[in-house]
Structure 1
Amino acid sequence: MCEAFSRDGKGDLTFEDFLDMLSVFSQQAPRDIKVYYAFKIYDFDNDDHIGPEDICKAVRLVTRNELSQDEMNQISAKTIEEADVDGDGKLSFIEFTHVILRAPEFLSTFHIRI
């Protein structure tokens, strides 16, 4: 997550980067900014797409590696099948945005309460 907010892209946060991160996770942050950073967080390989490998990595982190590779591949394939409008096997920012905006809980869960 720190890589998404660091200016150098390596995860080293300056104090300003840290403040930017906190502002994105505030309840008052605009939806578009939250979606932009959510995309950056899930784009682990920084190729401007969320592909099967990115989804598998997210699932692995969320489930603490409790699913088999086959189960993660199934989740990844189903996610791409549901959201990949142009059929290229990965999610662009626009496709990701479309999915996120259909999830009403996104805004209520993508924040940190301090």
Structure 2
Amino acid sequence: MGNASSMLTQYDIEEVQEHCSYLFSQQEIVALYERFCQLDRNAKGFISADEFLSIPEFSLNPLSQRLLKMIDGLNFKDFVAFLSAFSPKAFLQQKIELIFRVYDIDGNGRVTFKDLLEVLRDLTGSFMSEEQREQVLSHLLEESGYTRDASLVLDDFIKILGKSDMKMEVEVPVD
């Protein structure tokens, strides 16, 4: 797959499909590749933070800086693997794992009250006071059986969010 300007072969498409657990059809892989090539303006074979920020929906996302840490420098195969969590065919656990990675700011495998507070701060901006944020999070944790001092791991996230009807999907337009 090397150079982003080269064409995908059938083998490449199948390899990417396998890498993303067949959550995208071959047509969707081709459409994603076309979009990847548009974003990879210098045909380097990966997308930089600046190129991701050229997507208006991405740059306007309050969590974009947090997401950039996860996706800066992705090659096409890893780009599709990242997006696979947004596939309608993705399992809820895959979606929760992605959310956990977003909340796990320092990448230590644990989400603390401070981590949750930072994410809520990013999401609410000036619409909530710090005191309101702390109250909301304390209440949410308490309802889920945790305290402010808890350090949540992925299994805790799965327990808390696993019963939700989460809609985290992106439609891939196919010609």
- How far residue 84 of structure 1 moved from its aligned partner, in angstroms, is 4.6
Residue 87 (structure 1) shift: 8.4
1:112 aligns with 2:161: no
Q: Is the 8 A contact 1:26 1:113 kept in 2?
A: yes
| Counterpart check, 1:51 vs 2:117 | no
Picking from 64, 77, 100, the partner of 2:125 is 64
How large is the RMSD of aligned CA atoms in angstroms?
Answer: 2.2
- Counterpart secondary structure, 1:63: helix
Contact 2:103 2:115 in 1 (8 A): yes
Q: Which runs of 4+ in 1 moved over 4 A?
A: 84-88
Distance of 1:78 and 1:14 partners within structure 2: 41
Which TM-score applies when normalising by structure 2?
Answer: 0.52
Instruction: Summarize the alignment of residues 2-13 of structure 1 with structure 2, pairs less than 5 Å apart.
Output: 2-4=68-70, 6=71, 11-13=72-74
1:40 is aligned to 2:101: yes
Structure 1: runs of 5+ lacking an equivalent: none
From 127, 146, 151, the counterpart of 1:90: 151
Q: 1:78 to 1:90 in 2, by over 3 A?
A: farther
2:112, 2:152 within 8 Å by CA — same for their partners in 1?
A: yes
Q: Counterpart of 2:96 in structure 1: which amino acid?
A: V
Question: 1:55 touches 1:76 (CA, 8 Å); kept in 2?
Answer: yes
**C-alpha separation between the residues in 1 aligned to 2:151 and 2:126?**
22
Q: Which residue of 1 aligns with 2:57?
A: none
Distance 1:50 1:82 in 2: 17
Q: How many residues align?
A: 106
1:42 deviates by 1.5
Equivalents in 2 of 1:91, 1:26: separation in Å?
26
